[in-house]
A and B are shown apart, each in its own frame.
With several copies, the nearest count.
Chain A
Amino acid sequence: MNDMKTFDIEKVRADFPIFAREVHGRPLIYLDSGASAQKPTVVLDAVQKAYAETYANVHRGVHYLSQTSTELYEASRETIRAHMNAASIDEVIFTKNATESINLVAYSYGAANLKEGDEIILSTLEHHSNIVPWQLIAEKTGAVVKAVPIDEHGEFMLDAYLEMLGPRTKIVAVTHISNAIGTIVPVREVIDAAHDAGAVVLIDGSQAVPHMKIDMQALGADFYVFTGHKVFGPTGIGVLYGKAALLDKMPPFLGGGDMINRVTFEKTTFAKGHSKFEAGTPPIVQAIGLGTAIDYVNAIGFDKIAAHEQMLLAYATEQLSQINSLRIIGQAKHKAAIISFTLDDVHPHDIGTIVDRAGVAIRVGHHCAQPLMDHFDVAATARASFALYNNRADVDALVASIRDVQEIFG
């Protein structure tokens, strides 16, 4: 099972058609999976087939294509339920991305349960998508948003968090893994403590799901969100997991077709289960593609993926540390394969432009995590993020291209 010999990186790379292409005449070195991941051929084939052979709208039809399309769509929900070990398919809601998933909880659960003076606890590690929805809902309800501090290594400060918890804490929303600096948050402890304080917890798993197996029943989070495009699936699809007991009591968010029971102008009643939160025609083909992507990673196995990525993280950290004037931002003990760095005197945008000319795709900027940037007192960083299809040669190419930067900036 855990035999690394059977993780054949060349075979994995061959599953991703984009690696056949060149950029600026050089082989593509893709180190931007933290922003969005590339797609394996099986996912593209599933998408193509769903449109070309079995396409129709779901749920509302008795004809053959509609039935087939519905079965494929719902099979994908079951794939995701099983993958997350959710207790029921009614706990798995398809959205358009992680951002919508979080907004759904903020608008529905938040607006219904928050009062003046209630507290929402986030952390300094959060992506804007797990900050702004809470600020918007806080403004509407009079609740207050607080942020758990992080230390100089980028570690989530558990002690400070425990002290912040109190009777006013109603919602805790923290990331599982920081997209900007890779910190893995001890979400199990976060959840348990929040529950002891009587708060519900949303975990933003956008960066976790591509890298580790998650288990809703073991974790105990009330809500867990992720986004399809980062886990080798299509764009336009996200997932919200929510405990049935909470979802059942929540008011609907988006209104429209498919989420109703009976509509009259006098009174409308709503569907039960996941349907209540899936208004309008869902991202049918995107859900099918996402199910295929989840099957793909599971066939490889997360133990192997994690081992491979940790190897790359260690190698890249070691290689980058040897570059004078390079500073790695975020050195948490437990990290995913994401490395943010700065170079003395060279702005990240200049780094990005120069390494791109060598075919190296990294992300430069604030990574939608400005409070985190403020914490480290930088406006932006350069970030290399790895996925299962990266190899040591990618790290070497990155290092070589940073030497180019140094050469230009003398």
Chain B
Amino acid sequence: MFDDLRELYQEVILDHSKHPRNFRHPEDANHEAHGYNPLCGDTVNVYLKMGHNGLIEDAAFEGKGCAISLASASMMTEIIKGKTETQAKTIFDGFQKLVKGEDDNFDAGEDTERLMVLAGVKQFPMRVKCATLARHAMSSAMDGAEETSTE
């Protein structure tokens, strides 16, 4: 078996994909968006509860997808909860560069290590969209858009 496969499908990722965190539809969510990957038909609905000063009080999702997209959605909801919109978007941008292999010095503060488990995606360019589907939908939810597609 191949090292890069082992790196992609790390324990943490498989765990998040099998037992996604925040996999629910909070009743008090006030922002939501739908993400869709036309390549594989995967869908994700993200739900945010945005408080004062852009604080993300709750983040959750529902949807179908591959291990990478589920794990990515699951981890993202954990990470952005309690952050401000600006902080979240900075993390999204860094994450985007990380999985595209555009930035080797990824730094997302305390979340760096957690997100680094998804860095293996950069060896698999066709899977980058899986890793970023949730992040795009979350951005859209913050911006008020209703539907995003990775294409």
Contacts and interface: CB of A to CB of B under 8 A. Distances in A.
A407 interface: yes
Interface string A348-372: 1110011001000000111000100
A262 B126 contact: no
Contacts of A353: 5, 8, 124, 126-127
A346 B18 CA distance: 10
Interface string A374-389: 0000011000000000
A365 B126 contact: no
A404 interface: yes
Q: Is the interface of B mostly helix, strand, loop or mixed?
A: mixed
Contacts of A379: 40-43, 64
Q: Is the interface of A mostly helix, strand, loop or mixed?
A: mixed
B1 A407 contact: yes
Interface residues of A, number: 36
Nearest to B121: A353
Contacts of A365: 39-41
Interface string A270-313: 01110100000000000000000000000000000000000000
B41 A67 contact: no
B41 A357 contact: no
Contacts of B41: 262, 365-366, 370, 373, 379-380
A136 to B, nearest CB: 18
Contacts of B125: 67, 71
B126 A62 contact: yes
B4 A357 contact: yes
Contacts of B149: 261, 272
B28 interface: no
Interface in B51-86: 64-68
A347 interface: yes
Interface residues of B, number: 28
Given A261-B149, A271-B151, A272-B151, A59 B1 contact: no
A392 interface: no
A350 B68 contact: yes
Given A271-B151, A272-B149, A349 B4 contact: no
Interface in A381-410: 404, 407-410
Contact of A404 (B1, B4, B67): B1
B9 interface: yes
B38 interface: yes
Nearest to B11: A410
Contact of B40 (A260, A275, A357, A380): A380
B38 A262 contact: yes
A275 B127 CA distance: 19
Contacts of B39: 59-60, 365
A334 interface: no
B116 interface: no
A318 to B, nearest CB: 26
Interface of A: 24, 59-62, 66-67, 71, 260-262, 271-273, 275, 345-350, 353-354, 357, 364-366, 370, 373, 379-380, 404, 407-410
